[in-house]
Structure 1
Amino acid sequence: MDIYAIRKQKLISLIGTQRKGACAERWGMAPAHLSQILSDKTAKNLGDDVARRIEAIEKLPRGWFDSISADGSIAPDSSDTEGSAQSAADQVRQMLSRVKGLTSAARDRIIAAADETSNVITVDFSRPGQVGDEVWIAHYDVRGAMGGGEVPHDYPEMLQDVRVSPKHLREMGVEFKEHFHLKMVTGWGQSMAPTIKHRDPLLVDVTVRDFVGDGIYLFSWQEHLYIKRLQIFDEDHFEMISDNDKHGPRRIRKDETYVQARVLLVWNANLV
């Protein structure tokens, strides 16, 4: 059984007799997204980010979705909910034992990072000066279209991470609660120029899953992914606005629009 089949079965067992809509709301998912994962007619799978988020919300051990109990069963048991006896570092050691090509130094750094109680991974870059409060922000291979729409990847891959200073971001006026809520994605197209140019990296807050006021959002609409300004048009509609005058505004239904993140900063120092 592959990892996604295991996750699906454990997700079904976790939901049990609960209302799927209530579960989706609690987990910060669009109900349609959850339905696609549970459906046998679609190829939508439970990705790493969503699995880890659900585990955290449900207070399950990290990696609970990826494991089968000792007797081979999928259903949750008391040992799952009470926490794994293994430490995070022990679990990482087991995982790394199956990975080829890593140097011993790289393995040691990964294990040390897993053993940290903090969310910040400290790294010795062998250069003069103090690293200070710098942290790593994951850069995902996700392209939000500033034009006709991009079909979202089922499994976003990480590109080269970006090292930033949360203190410096706040001094620039970027508002966020925790640095691990921040991710990097890429703008694609010309419709948001000059604010966002083609292939500009964008800093987004992935905890914003609803419209929270006028701004630029990463959102899906009619199964495509967009980066556009959203404003309230009326009770049932948003107005999807492009900064490029050549692209006119469009009226889209709220119940067909699923916010994935809010854009906080264009990586050309344009605050939005």
Structure 2
Amino acid sequence: MDINKLRVAALKAVMAGASQKDFANVHGLDASYLSQILNGHRKMGEKAAATLEEKIGLQSGSLVNPAATEEKPIVKTGMSAIDQLKESLAKVKGFSAEARDRIVAAAEEPEDGPNSFLPSTLASLRPTNEEIVIPQYDVRAAMGHGQVPPDYTEVVRNLVVREEILREKGVTYTSKTSLAMINGWGQSMEGTINDKDLVIVDKGVQDFIGDGIYVLTWLHDLYIKRVMRLDEDHYRLISDNQHYENQTARIDDVTIHAKVLLIWNARKA
């Protein structure tokens, strides 16, 4: 059972639907750091979990070991690991029923995480060996002044595409399960990506790998921008629409989430 996954699930449960920005402001947290924890770009180690407990005002152990009990757990023959977790959580103070449900749901996911399996909504499509299922997430990435990254993302529909179509367009990717679709929003990339265009991205690319268009967070907002490296400390964030100014960003202030591969109107990124 992935302890990091349980800690993140427990933290999301404590947040109870509050936005990352509001939650960070209330508890004096760094919003960028909180975003990286929640989105899986940074592990929540034991020390980090203990620090968050103190800042948020949680009972000791609530995040360090969400499944811990005040009593030594007893392994019961015939009980599954999930059932034992449910029984343990019932004895932990400070968690609501909803929080416990979220932790259990996280524990029930396969250990390798979302990139190693197809969710039931995708599996039901049963693509052939020559086809790929690409989920569309309920996420807007701004091509202008920025959108606040969502706390949670949901699949709203799926696209089944033949691999040969991507090959014909010259599209390469890290893995089939790293492909996803999101919506662009705004006019700053107009001419390449228009307002509300669907774009196919590779979530397996989370570092700068050369000039191109990336989905990124800068100063807590989510963008789609063309990125060029200026020097060892700075990126140039480029808007393809000449009516918008390009911007210089410190590399340490930028988190790359994915690389844009294809605008779903047959225009290659």
User: TM-score band, normalised by the shorter chain?
Assistant: 0.5 to 0.7
Aligned to 2:140: 143
**1:73 Cα deviation after fit:** 5.9
1:69 and 2:71 matched: no
Q: 1:69 to 1:132 in 2, by over 3 A?
A: closer
1:51-200 equivalences in 2 (<5 Å): 69=85, 72=88, 121=123, 123=125, 133-200=130-197
1:255 and 2:252 matched: yes
Q: Is the 8 A contact 1:7 1:66 kept in 2?
A: no
**1:171 Cα deviation after fit:** 2.1
CA–CA distance in 1 between the matches of 2:263 and 2:230? 26
CA–CA distance in 1 between the matches of 2:49 and 2:141? 21
Q: 1:254 to 1:179 in 2, by over 3 A?
A: same
User: SS of the counterpart of 1:173?
Assistant: coil
CA–CA distance in 1 between the matches of 2:82 and 2:51? 16
User: SS of the counterpart of 1:39?
Assistant: helix
**1:170 Cα deviation after fit:** 1.6
Letter in 2 for 1:29: H
Unaligned runs of 5+ in 2: 12-32, 57-80, 91-107, 110-117
Under a length normalisation based on structure 1, what TM-score does the superposition of the two structures give? 0.59
CA–CA distance in 1 between the matches of 2:51 and 2:211? 33
**1:28 Cα deviation after fit:** 6.7
Aligned to 1:7: 6
Number of residue pairs matched by the alignment: 189
Letter in 2 for 1:39: L
User: SS of the counterpart of 2:167?
Assistant: helix
CA–CA distance in 2 between the matches of 1:216 and 1:184? 14
Q: Is the 8 A contact 2:219 2:253 kept in 1?
A: yes
1:216 and 2:195 matched: no
**Identity rate, percent:** 35
CA–CA distance in 2 between the matches of 1:261 and 1:253? 18
CA–CA distance in 1 between the matches of 2:205 and 2:50? 21
1:203 and 2:203 matched: no
Deviation per residue, 1:4-44 (Å, 9 max, x gap): x98227889xxxxxxxx9xx89x971479x969973557xx
Q: CA RMSD in A?
A: 3.9
**1:121 Cα deviation after fit:** 3.2
Aligned to 1:47: none
Aligned to 2:239: 242
**1:132 Cα deviation after fit:** 6.0
Under a length normalisation based on structure 2, what TM-score does the superposition of the two structures give? 0.59
Q: Is the 8 A contact 2:134 2:159 kept in 1?
A: yes
**1:153 Cα deviation after fit:** 0.5
User: SS of the counterpart of 1:228?
Assistant: strand
Aligned to 2:101: none
Q: 1:199 to 1:68 in 2, by over 3 A?
A: farther
1:228 and 2:193 matched: no
Letter in 1 for 2:41: M
User: SS of the counterpart of 2:153?
Assistant: coil
CA–CA distance in 2 between the matches of 1:218 and 1:168? 23
Q: 1:249 to 1:67 in 2, by over 3 A?
A: farther
Q: 1:114 to 1:11 in 2, by over 3 A?
A: closer
Unaligned runs of 5+ in 1: 13-20, 43-64, 75-90, 93-112, 125-129
